[in-house]
Amino acid sequence: LMCTESFKESTLRAIADAMVEKGLVSLGYRYLNLDDCWAKSRKLDGTVVADASKFPSGTLKELADYVHGKGMLFGTYTDRGTETCAGRPGALDHEEIDAKTYAEWGVDYLKEDSCNAVTDHDIAFQQYGRMRDALNATGRPIFFSLCGWNDWYAAKGASLGNSWRIGPDDNDWPGVLKNIDIMAGLGDFSGPGKGWNDPCLLLSRTWDGKD
């Protein structure tokens, strides 16, 4: 859905319904994960607020509850920088309160992007480590997906999260092939008990920027 008019709670509920009705959940597609454009602002205490024009409660809890009621797991999105890729509130210096909020909402999966953030390797690792620690401190099992778009995350990935992006976005088939080539040399860093190299999207068609 990207950041289109279709990206709203009613559409996402319909997607959850369709995943169950079409048998996808029984085949193992258990997660309904949001990407960018759900967050709007922060309260004075720093709590992140969902865009009420798309999520009427101003949170993701009602959607998460609905998804859980379908026997599925619910994921959402943030960014380790000052803002997300779409200019929404980032997690920098808000890791603890964001992790607590996500746990209270019932989030099962968190993707953390790398827009509007420093590119220094060590600082990136430190920032991801802060969110890792904050999520662990909540006591809720939350799958932590690092999205740094580079293969140099692979060697450190298992110490930081459950999966880590190893290449750029793959919005077309050449992009898929590029990430396969990148992954070919990274197999030793992933596996059961470690975590997983993430080659980005599973495509059903080439994304044309439209609904």
Q: Which residues participate in catalysis according to the annotation?
A: 113, 169
Can you tell me the distance from the alpha carbon of 200 to that of 61, in angstroms, rounded to the nearest whole number? 26
Can you tell me the distance from the alpha carbon of 135 to that of 160, in angstroms, rounded to the nearest whole number? 11
Q: ∠88-93-99 over CA atoms, to 5°?
A: 80
Q: What is the DSSP string of 94-151?
A: -HHHHHHHHHHHT--EEEEE-TTS---HHHHHHHHHHHHHHHHHH-S--EEEE---SG
What is the 8-class DSSP label of residue 170?
A: -
Can you tell me the distance from the alpha carbon of 183 to that of 180, in angstroms, rounded to the nearest whole number? 5
φ, ψ of residue 155 in degrees (nearest 5):
-65, -25
Write down the residue that tokens 């993707």 correspond to: 111
Nearest to 99 by CA among 34, 161, 66, 144: 144
Q: Please name every residue paired with 196 in a beta bridge, in sequence order, or none if there are none.
A: 163
Query: CB-side exposure of 189: number of CA atoms within 13 Å?
Result: 24
